[in-house]
Amino acid sequence: MKRRVVIIGSGNVATSIALTLKDKCELVQIYSRTLTNAKALAQHVGCEAIGDLKNLALDADVYIVSVKDDAITSVVDAVPDNGALWLHTSGSTPIDVFQNKRSRYGVLYPMQSFSKSHPANMSEVHIFIEGCDSETCKEIKAIASLMTKNVHEAASAEREKLHIAAVFACNFANHMFTLSSEVLDEAGLPFDAMLPLIKTTIAKLDNMTPQESQTGPAARGDMTIIEKHLKSLHGDKRKIYKLLSHSIMDRTK
């Protein structure tokens, strides 16, 4: 018997989970407060779309709440406890958002940067889980294992550290690429020129720590170049260049 699963949310994480689970579970409903979005995803995975939590099917086995962090509580509060397993997928929301509101609950946090145009290959993603008790934990592990073999237990405090680390390694590193592309744009040069360099930087991480492989003007304390670069920068790029150069120099002293 396949688990009957409801997906609450239609964003990037909800989409990746729905696409991964569609053949492994029976998807019952997709909810989004924007019905059009729910419909788009529901059509992809072949189930019902709803735009109002009043229409939520209460007889499913698992409810995966994959909405913005600050919307999780209002979703939980809008639906009565139906005895089913309720999960959220947030890195930074503690498990106790469900406390006293659900009898079986937990967290299923896929640590990956999801986007609709680049649906992640879930089978390579690391999923961090937490359950309200050991039996529930086992069930969450079973669900996560339908998606990937990389399943780890992690309490809420560890999950927050993971999320912060991912913001640095992924979102902030990517923002460095955005700033780089802006500098190149001003000179009429293509960002593509950076790709071989970026790939070399990443390749080094396979057998060196990022601290060991650091290069560039700040790492070698080349103030002449740093001052020259700061002169030709402005706005937040200038502030960022300065702050990060000092942060690198503090670690290479």
d(CA 65, CA 56): 12
116 binds a copy of itself (CB under 8 A): no
Q: According to the binding rule CB under 8 A, does residue 109 interact with a copy of itself?
A: no
Phi-psi region of 205 (alpha: psi -120 to 50; beta: other; left: phi over 0): alpha
- For residue 144, the surrounding DSSP H or E stretch is helix 134-145
Q: Which of 224, 186, 164 is nearest to 245 (CA)?
A: 224
CB hemisphere CA count around 14 (13 angstroms): 26
Asked if 19 interacts with a copy of itself (CB under 8 A), we say: no
Rg, the chain, Cα only: 22
The pair of structure tokens assigned to 237 is 């790029």
Closest to a copy of itself by CB, 58 or 202: 202
**Residues 201 to 230: which contact a copy of itself by CB under 8 A?**
201-206, 208-211, 213-220, 222, 224-225, 228-229
Please, which of residues 29-58 interact with a copy of itself by CB under 8 A?
A: none
99 token code pair = 């406390």
**Which of 19, 120, 137, 146 lies at the binding interface for a copy of itself (CB under 8 A)?**
120
Q: Which is nearer to a copy of itself, 103 or 181 (CB)?
A: 181
Q: Is 175 in the site for a copy of itself (CB under 8 A)?
A: yes
Nearer to a copy of itself by Cβ, of 59 and 250: the residue is: 250
Please pick, from the candidates 92, 133, 138, 145, the single residue that binds a copy of itself as defined by CB under 8 A: 92
- What residues from 181 to 200 belong to the interface with a copy of itself (CB under 8 A)? 181, 183-184, 186-200
